[in-house]
Amino acid sequence: MTALSALIRRDIRIALRVGGGALIGVLFFLTVVVLMPFAVGPDLALLSRLGPAILWLGALLASLLTLDRLFMADHEDGSLDLITMSRTPLELACAAKALAHWLAAGLPLIVATPVLGLLLNLDMVATGAVALTLLAGTPALTFTGMIGAALAVTLHRGGLLMAVLVLPLSIPVLIFGVAASQAAIVGPMTFGAPFSILCALSLVSLVIGPFAAAASLKHGLD
Amino acid sequence: MTLIDLANPTRFLALTARLLPWLAAATIILLAIGLYQSATAPDDYQQGATVKIMFIHVPNAWLSMFVWGVMSIASLGTLVWRHPLADVAAKAAAPIGAAFTFLALLTGSLWGRPMWGTYWEWDARLTSVLILFLMYLGLMALWRAVDEPSRAARAAAVLTLVGAINLPIIKFSVDWWNTLHQPASVMRMGGSSLDRSFLIPLLVMAIAFTLLFVTLHIAAMRNEILRRRVRSLQMMQASRVAFSEVGTGSREGSTSKEVGAA
């Protein structure tokens, strides 16, 4: 347990310091959202209607962008080999790393959501709904994206290939995330049903993600 | 003859060389029967002659999912049992599955034009099959991104299994999202809702397409084995040329092992 908490602390510290690049995700999120009014026009009514979808897409892309670093930096300096060989099960170590990554790169996205909601003319309820769904949904993005990150590090190929592999897997999260936000804003559905499915998706990926990532690291690293 | 006896690629090649003509002949005969029956099937009272697209469309759609199942079993073979031909099977199946999925989408969109008045609709079934197609393409990209087959095999196996878990989730999420496509009508509780004159040609076509897949898959596996042999022979030759002046025999050991594995 201490090993895992040490791993989490170490990862967060590395991510937040110079060269970590966790906060670049927030900057990317901001840039994507700012780009949107240029594409669809500065129509506030339209923006507030599209708002939840824009925020979700931005968060999805931002969390995908930062995932590249999840195993790559550790692989480059050799600490990934130590983690693989340590007595802590690799599945738990992967889960700890993903949790640390979510705390360092995912949580800032949610904190930034109210500000971006202001830019998109979302009211309090809508912003709260989007932030809540992001809080429930981004762990799923991180934990499924971790599989892609593990594949990328074993294949020495990152970037586009990883995006192509991971994005189709994140479609359910996107569907239910946006559906729950829309349900809270305009109805007529209840917020509870899509939101609980979103939570279920996060829990499922919490289980599948570490096992798949650990399997691909175990078989792929040599 | 068990599965493990086929672990020897030479034995597999010998067996399939005998098997393949029979499989191909059975496929052609069944396809001919199925196509004839489909052509002579009565027109639907509502859809007219366009209902005949179904006899091509439905088997393609079935196979698009069946092939992913085959790849998942092959991936288990790679990761769990380390069967030497499992990754060959998985690699050979991916382009075939992508082709079936593409044909299902294409025939579906041709069918949708007269029936729904549009080639494409963001409907649940269509969308989930499109995602399946994207995942096939991603898997093929993964195979092509890495030049060392065994390394690519394990990565692709993990991805195939994750996809196998995720595909039902995607399917249900998309179902919930929006729907226009008719629900399943052949296999459902309380018997098929299809008339017998449609059902029999459809089943014949489904069996014929499955046989077609088996034939193509075995042929593609043979090609892949031969391709790997050519590759390791080329590498052996290259290393012989490179090391002939130096005169070290150390490289030969590793390359000849690779030939044995191929």
Q: What is the pLDDT of residues A57-99, one digit of tens each?
A: 999 988 888 887 788 888 888 888 888 888 888 899 999 999 9
Among candidates A41, A4, A23, which has minimal Cα distance to A103?
A23
- Predicted TM-score (pTM) of the model is 0.82
Provide the residue-wise pLDDT of chain B in tens; the chain has 262 residues: 566 677 788 888 888 888 899 999 999 999 898 888 888 877 766 666 677 788 888 889 888 889 999 999 999 988 888 888 888 899 999 999 999 999 998 988 888 777 777 777 777 778 888 888 999 998 998 888 887 888 888 888 888 988 888 788 877 777 766 544 455 555 444 455 667 777 888 888 889 999 999 999 999 999 999 988 998 899 899 988 888 766 555 544 444 444 444 4
B30 contacts: CB under 8 Å, gap ≥ 6: B204, B207, B208, B211
Local structure of residue A1 (DSSP, 8 states): -
Residue A147 to residue B158, Cβ atoms within 8 A: yes
**Structure tokens that stand for A50 in this block:** 């599209």
CB of A195 less than 8 A from some CB of B: no
Distance, CA of B180 to chain centre: 27
Q: Which domain covers residue A153, as residue numbers? A: 2-219
Between CA B247 and CA B240 the distance in angstroms is: 9
Work out the minimum CA distance from B105 to partner chain A, whole angstroms.
17
pLDDT for the residue numbered B260: 46
Q: Considering only alpha carbons, which residue of chain A is nearest residue B136?
A: A165
Q: Compare CB distances from A219 to B137, B154, B174 and report the shortest one's residue.
A: B154
Say how many CB pairs under 8 Å bridge A and B: 78
What residues of chain A lie within 8 A of the CB of B142, using their CB? 151, 155, 161, 165
**Residues in a beta bridge with B44:** B48
Tell me the residue type at A16: L
* Tally of domains within chain A: 1
* Angle, in degrees to the nearest 10, between helices A124-155 and A171-186: 180
Residue A165 to residue B134, Cβ atoms within 8 A: no
What residues of chain A lie within 8 A of the CB of B159, using their CB? 147, 151, 165
ipTM of this complex prediction, to 2 decimal places: 0.81
Residue A161 to residue B142, Cβ atoms within 8 A: yes
Among candidates A90, A203, A215, which has minimal Cα distance to A151?
A215
**Structure tokens that stand for B168 in this block:** 């039902």
Work out the minimum CA distance from A195 to partner chain B, whole angstroms.
13
